[in-house]
Structure 1
Amino acid sequence: MRKLIVANLVSLDGYVEGPGRDVLALPFDDAFDDYNAERLRAAGTLLLGRVTYEMLKDYWPQVADDPAVRPVLREISRLNGAVEKVVVSDSLTPEQTAPWHHNTRVVKRPAALEEVAALKAGPGGDILVFGSRTLWTALLAAGLVDELHLMVGSAFLGAGTPVSATTGRVPLRLLEVRRLGQGELALLRYAAPLA
């Protein structure tokens, strides 16, 4: 059985985006990139919502050959390009998945839970979710998330998009707490309950 792992950066006051959906308001540092590369190395599938998918495909492809960026960013670019991607969207078409059309599959929302359950039952590396807050909170409510990895940064945003879209209490079990590298991020790793 494959693990479904959600990995997200969050501010100290619990936001995944600042006001106006500004993701750059989050407290990024080098350890964030290092941890994302670690997660991607273990992944067999990247599971994303449409908005996150479009942000990744617009940014990462050109980074692979950019000598001005850290080597880990070039590695993330190559890993993002190579990994199988499943995008949950009712509006994205296969033609809109370029340049990753060769290894991207679009799944409509009504079929998402069944598709994710089938992915988990199949062979391969971890199923990794970056961003995609609406998607992963629905998967968490359905009991399909195995672990939640929150990289908590040392900043208060004061407003923005809350980390979770859940409306009820979801108990989690703490697996690990550690500082990531020498930066300002703390990893909180939780096991999610089964539905």
Structure 2
Amino acid sequence: MSPVVVSTLVSLDGYVAGPGGDISGLPMDASFDALNLERLRAAGTLLMGATTYRGMVGYWPAVAADPTVSPAVALDPSAADLHRETAQRNAALPKVVVSDSLTPADTGPWADTTTIVRRADAHAAVAALRAGAGGDVLVFGSRTLWGDLLAAGLVDELFLLVGPVVLGAGLRAFPDGVPAHLRLRDTARRPGSDNVLLSYAVGTGDAEPSS
């Protein structure tokens, strides 16, 4: 089995973005970057919605070629290797995008590693990925997608990096009407960061967490 793993940054009051989808108020510090790379190292497939995919394909290929174009690297040159590896893994991993609007023309440099799945086929496609082998099925961002998958019982683990900010409004992490039973597996905090990582298993099974 390849668990479906959601990894997301969330404000203290439960938002994954501010009004208008603005994520600039969230604390995307070194702990956020390190978590993303950890999850990528454990992944066999990236699963995304169209908005997240467009943002990633428009950003990471340039970082793979030159990490200094990343604002984080410009602030801290020692982060270059982390961002380069992140960019390379984003490029190399198979990517499944659930969308009725994305076309092959939108996939650009990631065309050879991207599969587009229509929304009506999403549950079946994710169930097939989950039943396979070869690493986590990793979801970054894509709250609309993983909210739907959570309601359908197709999410196995949640990694919520909770930042010490209160956005007050915006896109809530958990949409209305989506029940979920979560079991806390671990909490962690990295030196120098006020972000706190909460790791949850979805449901009541006793499976071991992903590494």
Q: TM-score range by the shorter chain?
A: over 0.9
Gaps of 5+ in 1: none
In the alignment, which residue of structure 1 is the partner of 2:66? 66
Number of residue pairs matched?
194
The whole-number CA distance in structure 1 between the counterparts of 2:36 and 2:7 is: 8
The whole-number CA distance in structure 2 between the counterparts of 1:164 and 1:100 is: 30
Of 66-75 and 29-38, more deviation after overlay is shown by 66-75
Of 25-34 and 164-173, more deviation after overlay is shown by 164-173
Q: Is the 8 A contact 2:186 2:199 kept in 1?
A: yes
The whole-number CA distance in structure 1 between the counterparts of 2:154 and 2:180 is: 13
Q: Is the 8 A contact 2:150 2:178 kept in 1?
A: no
The whole-number CA distance in structure 2 between the counterparts of 1:185 and 1:47 is: 24
Matches within 5 A, 1:68-87: 68=68, 69=73, 70=79, 71-87=81-97
In the alignment, which residue of structure 2 is the partner of 1:167? 177
The whole-number CA distance in structure 2 between the counterparts of 1:166 and 1:108 is: 23
Of 43-52 and 152-161, more deviation after overlay is shown by 152-161
Q: Does 2:25 correspond to 1:25? A: yes
Two-structure CA RMSD over aligned residues (Å):
1.2
The whole-number CA distance in structure 1 between the counterparts of 2:89 and 2:37 is: 8
In the alignment, which residue of structure 2 is the partner of 1:89? 99
Of 37-46 and 13-22, more deviation after overlay is shown by 13-22
Q: Which amino acid aligns with 1:31?
A: S
Query: 1:181: how far off?
Result: 4.0
Query: 1:18: how far off?
Result: 1.2
In the alignment, which residue of structure 2 is the partner of 1:99? 109
Q: Deviations over 1:77-97 (max 9, x none)?
A: 111000000000011111211
The whole-number CA distance in structure 1 between the counterparts of 2:119 and 2:60 is: 25
Q: Does 2:9 correspond to 1:13? A: no
Of 60-69 and 115-124, more deviation after overlay is shown by 60-69
In the alignment, which residue of structure 2 is the partner of 1:130? 140
In the alignment, which residue of structure 1 is the partner of 2:149? 139
TM-score (norm: length of structure 2): 0.88
Query: 1:130: how far off?
Result: 0.3
Q: Is the 8 A contact 1:172 1:191 kept in 2?
A: yes
The alignment-based identity, stated in percent, is: 54
Q: Which amino acid aligns with 2:134?
A: G
Q: Deviations over 1:54-108 (max 9, x none)?
A: 0111111101132532221111111100000000001111121111000000000
Query: Structure 1 residues 181, 64: closer, same or farther in 2, change over 3 A?
Result: farther
In the alignment, which residue of structure 2 is the partner of 1:180? 190
Q: Does 2:118 correspond to 1:118? A: no
Query: 1:9: how far off?
Result: 0.2
Query: 1:28: how far off?
Result: 1.4
Query: 1:182: how far off?
Result: 2.8
The whole-number CA distance in structure 1 between the counterparts of 2:191 and 2:92 is: 26
The whole-number CA distance in structure 2 between the counterparts of 1:93 and 1:121 is: 26
Which 4+ stretches in 1 moved above 6 angstroms? none
The whole-number CA distance in structure 2 between the counterparts of 1:67 and 1:4 is: 29
